[in-house]
Amino acid sequence: MTRDFVYSTSPAHIVFGSGKAGTVGEWIDRIGCRRALVLSTPHQRADAERLAETLGSRAAGIFAGAVMHTPVEVTERAMEIVRQTGADCVVSLGGGSTTGLGKAIAYRTDLPQIVIPTTYAGSEVTPILGQTEGGRKTTVRSAAILPEVVIYDPALTLGLPVGMSVTSGLNAMAHAVEALYAEDRNPVSSLMAAEGLRAFKRSLPAIVATPEDGEARAEALYGAWLCGTVLGTVGMALHHKICHTLGGRFDTPHADTHAIMLPHTAAFNAVAVPDLTAPVAEVFGGSVGGGLWDFARAAGAPLALKDLGLSEKDLDLTAEIATQNPYRNPRPIDRPSIRALLQDAWEGRRPD
Ligand code: NAD
């Protein structure tokens, strides 16, 4: 029987296709803008320069200073460039860090955003912005934060290193797994979550085997869109709480942290909601946690928190912070069980 639900869609334009990054100029016109500030990380500056060149007079300038966790100081420097150049929109070319900077600018100015994602993090389809100030990470949600146009162009992801492709894919899959048991899930979010998992099940092994496989890259971006969309529409739980705690407190790398934690948090919650997590076992085989862990291991993902430089003492603090304030989770949370789960993840043990 269908349960009661609320279904809201996001108003963004989603564009898929190899070579579609070449249509950015048209999209700038279509959203009624004239001059875009192109954003990237320092690492992707050359790609941003190439893109700005193709935009000609529609490019107001480039800011290639995006970094992880969207520090407010970096946003303020970018805001200065926005003012100097008179840009009336931003084009974010890159992963979650670059998208985060574009969102931070939009949050302050309401400038429209066009995002060209080059990882699978999924931030481009959420109205959520995480930013850091003085070492503290805060999260805001607002309609102004949701990008107006997203262009998924697999050609720009062919060079995403295999290791990052795998961890980024597992990061995306974590959004889907938590969406399956979200309190505010709806039939469409559950369909999208299961389809997102299937897309990564098919594409990640193919990418590991042949990183330049355009079909597999396209399918992974399709998965990223699905998984990111559910992240933006339904509530996340234990898994995201723990990863947020580890990243915020110990600065562990975002995608690696998600990749390592996913089999453990999924196994923990599967005990309470086996019917809701059944699609995970169907897609990956075996048990929910074991199937995810085997898939991650076969793809060469990191499996142990100790390899991220965490000590066992850090796990005590993580368990304490992650259980301090109550939040929705399908299985009741207590400190000893979360500490035990973290120990398993630290050692890289396969969950049952
Ligand atoms: P990232 O954006 O930090 O990218 C990591 C590095 O890889 C960067 O140097 C980047 O330039 C490089 N890179 C990206 N794409 C590449 C490509 N195709 N080829 C070569 N190099 C490439 O990593 P990420 O995991 O995409 O993003 C992590 C950040 O996104 C975190 O700060 C996280 O909090 C945020 N995030 C936010 C949301 C949200 O909804 N607000 C969702 C997911 C992630």
Q: 322: domain CATH number?
A: 1.20.1090.10
- Cα 83 to Cα 36, 38, 87, 205, 224: the distances in Å are 12, 14, 7, 45, 33
- If asked whether residues 264 and 139 sit together in one domain, one would say no
In a domain, 106, yes or no: yes
In a domain, 5, yes or no: no
Residue owning the nearest CA to atom 24 of ligand 1: 96
In a domain, 341, yes or no: yes
Residue whose CB lies within 8 A of the most ligand 1 atoms, among 51, 98, 119, 226, for a mutation test: 119
- If asked whether residues 167 and 311 sit together in one domain, one would say yes
Q: Which of 129, 157, 185 is the last residue of a domain?
A: 157
Band (pLDDT 50/70/90 cuts) for residue 260 is very high
pLDDT at position 176: 98
Among 97, 139, 141, 143, which Cα is nearest to 117's?
A: 97
Query: Helices (H) and strands (E) in the chain — how many of each?
Result: 13, 8
- If asked whether residues 199 and 212 sit together in one domain, one would say yes
Domain count, the chain: 2
- If asked whether residues 287 and 173 sit together in one domain, one would say yes
pLDDT reading at 298 higher than 60:
yes
In a domain, 304, yes or no: yes
Q: What is the pLDDT of residues 324-340, one digit of tens each?
A: 988 999 999 999 999 99
Q: What is the pLDDT of residues 8-42, one digit of tens each?
A: 888 899 999 999 999 999 999 999 999 999 999 99
pLDDT at position 1: 55
- If asked whether residues 169 and 67 sit together in one domain, one would say no
- If asked whether residues 33 and 105 sit together in one domain, one would say yes
In a domain, 104, yes or no: yes
Ligand 1 mean position, distance from CA 254 (Å): 8
* pLDDT (average), residues 242-257: 93
The domain in which residue 91 lies consists of 13-157
pLDDT at position 136: 77
- If asked whether residues 134 and 192 sit together in one domain, one would say no
List all residues whose CB is within 6 A of at least one atom of ligand 1: 41, 43-44, 68-69, 94-98, 100, 118-119, 121-123, 126, 128-130, 157, 159-160, 164, 168, 231, 254-255
* pLDDT (average), residues 193-221: 98
Residue owning the nearest CA to atom 4 of ligand 1: 95
pLDDT at position 137: 80
pLDDT reading at 150 higher than 60:
yes
Residue owning the nearest CA to atom 3 of ligand 1: 97
Residue owning the nearest CA to atom 42 of ligand 1: 123
In a domain, 325, yes or no: yes
Point out the ligand 1 atom lying closest to the alpha carbon of residue 70.
32
Point out the ligand 1 atom lying closest to the alpha carbon of residue 247.
34
- For strands 128-133 and 136-141, give the pairing: antiparallel
In a domain, 257, yes or no: yes
- In DSSP terms, 45 is beta-bridged to none
| Amino acid in position 215 | E
In a domain, 4, yes or no: no
Q: Classify 218 in phi/psi space as left (phi over 0), alpha (psi -120 to 50) or beta.
A: alpha
Distant-in-sequence, close-in-space partners of 36: CB < 8 Å, separation ≥ 6: 24, 28, 55, 58, 59, 60, 87, 88, 89, 90, 91, 114
